[in-house]
Structure 1
Amino acid sequence: MNNMETEQKLKVYYDGLCVLCSKEMDHYKRQKGAELISFLDICAKDFDAAKEGVDPIQVHKIMHVRRTDGGLATRVDAFIEIWNVLPKYNRAAKIAKNPFVRKGLDFGYSMFAKVRPFLPRNKAADDCKNSPYCIR
Protein backbone atom coordinates (compact mmCIF):
# COMPACT_ATOMS: atom_id res chain seq x y z
CA MET A 1 0.00 0.00 0.00
CA ASN A 2 1.48 3.33 -0.96
CA ASN A 3 1.47 6.50 1.14
CA MET A 4 -1.45 8.02 -0.77
CA GLU A 5 -3.72 5.05 -0.04
CA THR A 6 -3.06 5.30 3.69
CA GLU A 7 -3.68 9.05 3.88
CA GLN A 8 -7.11 10.35 4.79
CA LYS A 9 -8.65 12.33 1.93
CA LEU A 10 -10.75 15.47 2.14
CA LYS A 11 -14.37 14.46 1.42
CA VAL A 12 -16.50 16.87 -0.58
CA TYR A 13 -20.27 16.34 -0.47
CA TYR A 14 -21.95 17.92 -3.49
CA ASP A 15 -25.29 17.87 -5.30
CA GLY A 16 -24.67 15.95 -8.51
CA LEU A 17 -28.11 16.87 -9.82
CA CYS A 18 -27.37 20.60 -9.75
CA VAL A 19 -25.87 21.50 -13.13
CA LEU A 20 -23.78 24.39 -11.78
CA CYS A 21 -22.58 22.41 -8.74
CA SER A 22 -21.57 19.46 -10.93
CA LYS A 23 -19.65 21.68 -13.34
CA GLU A 24 -17.74 23.27 -10.47
CA MET A 25 -16.83 19.88 -8.95
CA ASP A 26 -15.85 18.53 -12.38
CA HIS A 27 -13.52 21.52 -12.70
CA TYR A 28 -11.95 20.81 -9.30
CA LYS A 29 -11.54 17.10 -10.21
CA ARG A 30 -9.26 18.11 -13.11
CA GLN A 31 -6.93 20.21 -10.94
CA LYS A 32 -3.54 19.25 -9.57
CA GLY A 33 -4.12 17.98 -6.03
CA ALA A 34 -7.59 16.55 -6.78
CA GLU A 35 -6.27 13.07 -6.05
CA LEU A 36 -6.29 14.14 -2.38
CA ILE A 37 -10.06 14.72 -2.50
CA SER A 38 -12.99 12.29 -2.55
CA PHE A 39 -16.00 13.78 -4.29
CA LEU A 40 -19.28 12.28 -3.02
CA ASP A 41 -22.53 12.96 -4.86
CA ILE A 42 -25.18 13.36 -2.16
CA CYS A 43 -27.93 12.54 -4.68
CA ALA A 44 -26.38 9.24 -5.75
CA LYS A 45 -28.57 6.24 -4.97
CA ASP A 46 -25.87 4.71 -2.77
CA PHE A 47 -25.16 7.86 -0.73
CA ASP A 48 -25.93 7.31 2.97
CA ALA A 49 -25.86 10.51 5.04
CA ALA A 50 -25.98 8.57 8.32
CA LYS A 51 -22.98 6.46 7.31
CA GLU A 52 -21.11 9.66 6.43
CA GLY A 53 -22.10 11.31 9.72
CA VAL A 54 -23.84 14.28 8.11
CA ASP A 55 -27.35 15.58 8.66
CA PRO A 56 -29.46 14.31 5.72
CA ILE A 57 -31.35 17.60 5.38
CA GLN A 58 -28.51 20.05 6.01
CA VAL A 59 -26.13 18.30 3.59
CA HIS A 60 -28.66 19.06 0.85
CA LYS A 61 -29.09 22.67 1.92
CA ILE A 62 -25.47 23.79 2.31
CA MET A 63 -22.04 22.69 1.13
CA HIS A 64 -20.26 20.23 3.44
CA VAL A 65 -16.67 18.98 3.50
CA ARG A 66 -15.20 16.43 5.90
CA ARG A 67 -11.65 17.50 6.74
CA THR A 68 -8.85 14.98 7.07
CA ASP A 69 -9.04 15.37 10.87
CA GLY A 70 -12.66 14.16 10.73
CA GLY A 71 -14.26 17.55 11.41
CA LEU A 72 -16.87 19.12 9.18
CA ALA A 73 -16.59 22.44 7.36
CA THR A 74 -19.65 24.02 5.79
CA ARG A 75 -20.57 26.91 3.53
CA VAL A 76 -17.59 29.14 2.60
CA ASP A 77 -15.35 27.22 5.03
CA ALA A 78 -15.98 24.11 2.91
CA PHE A 79 -14.73 25.87 -0.20
CA ILE A 80 -11.68 27.18 1.64
CA GLU A 81 -10.84 23.58 2.59
CA ILE A 82 -11.06 22.55 -1.08
CA TRP A 83 -8.96 25.52 -2.18
CA ASN A 84 -6.30 24.71 0.43
CA VAL A 85 -5.82 21.27 -1.16
CA LEU A 86 -5.67 22.48 -4.77
CA PRO A 87 -2.43 24.41 -5.39
CA LYS A 88 -4.04 26.57 -8.10
CA TYR A 89 -6.51 27.85 -5.48
CA ASN A 90 -4.21 28.30 -2.46
CA ARG A 91 -4.12 32.04 -2.97
CA ALA A 92 -7.94 32.19 -3.17
CA ALA A 93 -8.08 30.37 0.18
CA LYS A 94 -5.80 32.96 1.76
CA ILE A 95 -7.75 35.88 0.29
CA ALA A 96 -11.05 34.33 1.46
CA LYS A 97 -9.80 34.49 5.05
CA ASN A 98 -9.61 38.29 4.92
CA PRO A 99 -12.52 39.49 7.13
CA PHE A 100 -13.79 42.01 4.55
CA VAL A 101 -13.65 39.50 1.70
CA ARG A 102 -15.14 36.82 3.93
CA LYS A 103 -18.23 38.90 4.69
CA GLY A 104 -18.86 39.26 0.96
CA LEU A 105 -18.32 35.56 0.34
CA ASP A 106 -20.63 34.61 3.21
CA PHE A 107 -23.34 36.90 1.85
CA GLY A 108 -22.90 35.58 -1.69
CA TYR A 109 -23.00 31.97 -0.55
CA SER A 110 -26.16 32.57 1.51
CA MET A 111 -27.87 34.02 -1.56
CA PHE A 112 -26.70 31.13 -3.75
CA ALA A 113 -27.92 28.54 -1.23
CA LYS A 114 -31.39 30.09 -1.36
CA VAL A 115 -31.67 29.97 -5.16
CA ARG A 116 -29.85 26.67 -5.76
CA PRO A 117 -33.02 24.54 -5.57
CA PHE A 118 -34.39 26.52 -8.51
CA LEU A 119 -31.33 26.17 -10.76
CA PRO A 120 -31.39 23.81 -13.75
CA ARG A 121 -31.13 20.13 -12.81
CA ASN A 122 -29.49 17.21 -14.59
CA LYS A 123 -31.86 14.76 -16.28
CA ALA A 124 -31.20 12.20 -13.53
CA ALA A 125 -33.20 14.43 -11.17
CA ASP A 126 -36.31 12.58 -12.35
CA ASP A 127 -35.02 9.47 -10.53
CA CYS A 128 -34.03 11.33 -7.37
CA LYS A 129 -35.75 10.26 -4.17
CA ASN A 130 -33.31 10.97 -1.33
CA SER A 131 -32.99 14.74 -1.58
CA PRO A 132 -35.45 17.32 -0.30
CA TYR A 133 -34.44 19.30 -3.40
CA CYS A 134 -35.74 16.63 -5.78
CA ILE A 135 -39.31 17.67 -5.15
CA ARG A 136 -40.17 21.18 -6.32
Structure 2
Amino acid sequence: MQKTKNMSHSEITVYYDGLCQLCSREIEHYKKMDGASNISFVDITSPGFDATAEGLDPHKIHQSLHVRDTNGQIYIGVEAFIMIWSQLNMLKKIVPLASFGPVKKTLEAGYFLFAKVRPLLPRKKCSDSPYCEVQFDQKR
Protein backbone atom coordinates (compact mmCIF):
# COMPACT_ATOMS: atom_id res chain seq x y z
CA MET A 1 0.00 0.00 0.00
CA GLN A 2 1.42 3.36 -1.01
CA LYS A 3 1.08 6.22 1.46
CA THR A 4 2.73 9.57 1.21
CA LYS A 5 3.41 9.89 4.93
CA ASN A 6 2.82 8.34 8.32
CA MET A 7 -0.38 8.94 10.27
CA SER A 8 -0.51 11.42 13.14
CA HIS A 9 -3.34 12.63 15.35
CA SER A 10 -4.49 15.38 13.00
CA GLU A 11 -4.65 13.39 9.78
CA ILE A 12 -7.19 11.89 7.49
CA THR A 13 -6.58 9.12 4.99
CA VAL A 14 -7.74 9.60 1.42
CA TYR A 15 -8.31 6.47 -0.69
CA TYR A 16 -8.16 7.37 -4.38
CA ASP A 17 -8.01 5.61 -7.75
CA GLY A 18 -4.47 6.17 -9.02
CA LEU A 19 -5.35 4.81 -12.47
CA CYS A 20 -8.04 7.44 -13.03
CA GLN A 21 -6.34 10.32 -14.83
CA LEU A 22 -8.74 12.99 -13.56
CA CYS A 23 -8.69 11.63 -10.00
CA SER A 24 -4.90 11.47 -9.94
CA ARG A 25 -4.56 15.04 -11.22
CA GLU A 26 -6.86 16.31 -8.51
CA ILE A 27 -4.97 14.40 -5.80
CA GLU A 28 -1.64 15.74 -7.11
CA HIS A 29 -3.11 19.25 -6.90
CA TYR A 30 -4.17 18.64 -3.29
CA LYS A 31 -0.74 17.24 -2.39
CA LYS A 32 0.85 20.58 -3.32
CA MET A 33 -1.45 22.63 -1.10
CA ASP A 34 -0.72 23.99 2.36
CA GLY A 35 -2.22 21.54 4.84
CA ALA A 36 -1.61 18.43 2.71
CA SER A 37 0.85 17.23 5.34
CA ASN A 38 -2.27 16.43 7.42
CA ILE A 39 -3.44 13.95 4.79
CA SER A 40 -2.26 10.46 4.00
CA PHE A 41 -2.99 9.58 0.36
CA VAL A 42 -3.50 5.91 -0.52
CA ASP A 43 -3.70 4.70 -4.11
CA ILE A 44 -6.29 1.92 -4.06
CA THR A 45 -4.95 0.54 -7.35
CA SER A 46 -1.44 -0.03 -6.05
CA PRO A 47 -0.42 -3.71 -6.01
CA GLY A 48 -0.16 -3.89 -2.22
CA PHE A 49 -3.48 -2.28 -1.37
CA ASP A 50 -6.03 -4.55 0.34
CA ALA A 51 -9.40 -2.88 0.92
CA THR A 52 -10.58 -5.66 3.21
CA ALA A 53 -7.51 -5.25 5.45
CA GLU A 54 -8.44 -1.56 5.71
CA GLY A 55 -12.00 -2.49 6.69
CA LEU A 56 -13.37 -1.20 3.38
CA ASP A 57 -15.66 -2.81 0.84
CA PRO A 58 -13.40 -3.80 -2.11
CA HIS A 59 -16.12 -2.94 -4.65
CA LYS A 60 -17.49 0.29 -3.17
CA ILE A 61 -14.00 1.73 -2.67
CA HIS A 62 -13.60 1.69 -6.47
CA GLN A 63 -16.90 3.46 -7.07
CA SER A 64 -16.46 6.57 -4.92
CA LEU A 65 -13.79 8.57 -3.15
CA HIS A 66 -13.37 7.45 0.48
CA VAL A 67 -11.79 9.25 3.43
CA ARG A 68 -11.15 7.90 6.93
CA ASP A 69 -10.77 10.28 9.87
CA THR A 70 -8.67 9.67 12.97
CA ASN A 71 -11.67 8.12 14.73
CA GLY A 72 -12.05 5.56 11.95
CA GLN A 73 -15.21 7.09 10.51
CA ILE A 74 -15.51 6.73 6.73
CA TYR A 75 -16.74 9.55 4.51
CA ILE A 76 -17.76 8.86 0.92
CA GLY A 77 -18.25 11.08 -2.13
CA VAL A 78 -18.98 14.73 -1.37
CA GLU A 79 -18.52 14.13 2.36
CA ALA A 80 -15.02 12.84 1.54
CA PHE A 81 -14.22 15.97 -0.45
CA ILE A 82 -15.47 18.17 2.39
CA MET A 83 -13.11 16.32 4.75
CA ILE A 84 -10.19 16.87 2.36
CA TRP A 85 -11.02 20.55 1.88
CA SER A 86 -11.25 21.03 5.65
CA GLN A 87 -7.54 20.05 5.89
CA LEU A 88 -6.31 22.32 3.10
CA ASN A 89 -5.83 25.92 4.16
CA MET A 90 -6.76 27.38 0.78
CA LEU A 91 -10.01 25.37 0.61
CA LYS A 92 -11.19 25.52 4.23
CA LYS A 93 -13.26 28.58 3.43
CA ILE A 94 -15.48 26.64 1.01
CA VAL A 95 -16.37 23.94 3.57
CA PRO A 96 -19.33 25.87 5.08
CA LEU A 97 -20.72 26.58 1.61
CA ALA A 98 -20.21 22.97 0.43
CA SER A 99 -21.87 21.74 3.63
CA PHE A 100 -24.91 24.01 3.21
CA GLY A 101 -27.97 21.86 2.39
CA PRO A 102 -28.94 23.01 -1.13
CA VAL A 103 -25.32 23.40 -2.26
CA LYS A 104 -24.39 20.01 -0.84
CA LYS A 105 -27.34 18.36 -2.61
CA THR A 106 -26.20 19.91 -5.89
CA LEU A 107 -22.63 18.72 -5.34
CA GLU A 108 -23.93 15.24 -4.49
CA ALA A 109 -25.97 15.12 -7.70
CA GLY A 110 -22.91 16.17 -9.72
CA TYR A 111 -20.68 13.64 -7.98
CA PHE A 112 -23.25 10.88 -8.50
CA LEU A 113 -23.19 11.56 -12.25
CA PHE A 114 -19.38 11.73 -12.29
CA ALA A 115 -19.13 8.41 -10.41
CA LYS A 116 -21.39 6.80 -13.03
CA VAL A 117 -19.25 7.94 -15.99
CA ARG A 118 -15.84 7.63 -14.31
CA PRO A 119 -15.34 4.00 -15.37
CA LEU A 120 -15.70 5.16 -18.98
CA LEU A 121 -12.98 7.81 -18.67
CA PRO A 122 -9.48 7.09 -19.99
CA ARG A 123 -7.22 5.40 -17.48
CA LYS A 124 -3.47 5.68 -17.05
CA LYS A 125 -1.24 3.11 -18.72
CA CYS A 126 -0.76 0.32 -16.28
CA SER A 127 1.35 -2.77 -15.84
CA ASP A 128 1.66 -3.65 -12.17
CA SER A 129 -1.77 -3.01 -10.67
CA PRO A 130 -4.26 -5.85 -10.34
CA TYR A 131 -6.89 -3.32 -11.46
CA CYS A 132 -5.38 -2.42 -14.84
CA GLU A 133 -8.10 -4.03 -16.92
CA VAL A 134 -10.89 -4.24 -14.36
CA GLN A 135 -14.14 -2.38 -14.96
CA PHE A 136 -16.15 -2.04 -11.76
CA ASP A 137 -19.78 -2.95 -11.60
CA GLN A 138 -21.69 0.24 -10.78
CA LYS A 139 -24.67 -1.67 -9.33
CA ARG A 140 -22.88 -2.94 -6.21
- Alignment TM-score > 0.5, same fold: yes
Decide whether aligned partners of structure 1 residues 38 and 27 sit closer, same or farther in structure 2, where only a CA change above 3 A counts.
same
SS of residue matched to 2:86 = helix
Q: Separation in 2 of the partners of 1:96 and 1:68?
A: 22
Deviation at 1:89, TM superposition (A): 0.6
Instruction: Write out per-residue CA displacement over residues 21-76 of structure 1, whole angstroms, 9 at most, x where no aligned residue.
Output: 00000000000010110000000001011111110000001110001111000010
Superposed counterparts of 1:1-136, under 5 Å: 6-7=8-9, 9-124=11-126, 126-130=127-131, 134-135=134-135
Give the aligned residue type for 2:107: L
SS of residue matched to 1:123 = coil
Decide whether aligned partners of structure 1 residues 26 and 6 sit closer, same or farther in structure 2, where only a CA change above 3 A counts.
closer
Q: Separation in 1 of the partners of 2:54 and 2:82?
A: 20
Q: Separation in 1 of the partners of 2:10 and 2:49?
A: 19
Say which structure is richer in helix: 1
2:7–2:40 Cα contact (<8 Å) kept: no
Task: Please report the RMSD computed on the Cα atoms of aligned residues, expressed in angstroms.
Answer: 1.9
Q: Separation in 1 of the partners of 2:123 and 2:72?
A: 31
1:65–1:73 Cα contact (<8 Å) kept: yes
2:47–2:128 Cα contact (<8 Å) kept: no
The percent identity for this pair of structures is 44
Deviation at 1:91, TM superposition (A): 1.4
SS of residue matched to 2:40 = strand
Structure 1: which 5+ residue stretches go unaligned?
none
1:128–1:134 Cα contact (<8 Å) kept: no
TM-score by length of 1: 0.89
Give the aligned residue type for 1:134: V
Decide whether aligned partners of structure 1 residues 103 and 57 sit closer, same or farther in structure 2, where only a CA change above 3 A counts.
same
Displaced runs of 4+ in structure 1, greater than 3 A? none
SS of residue matched to 1:128 = coil
Structure 2: which 5+ residue stretches go unaligned?
1-5
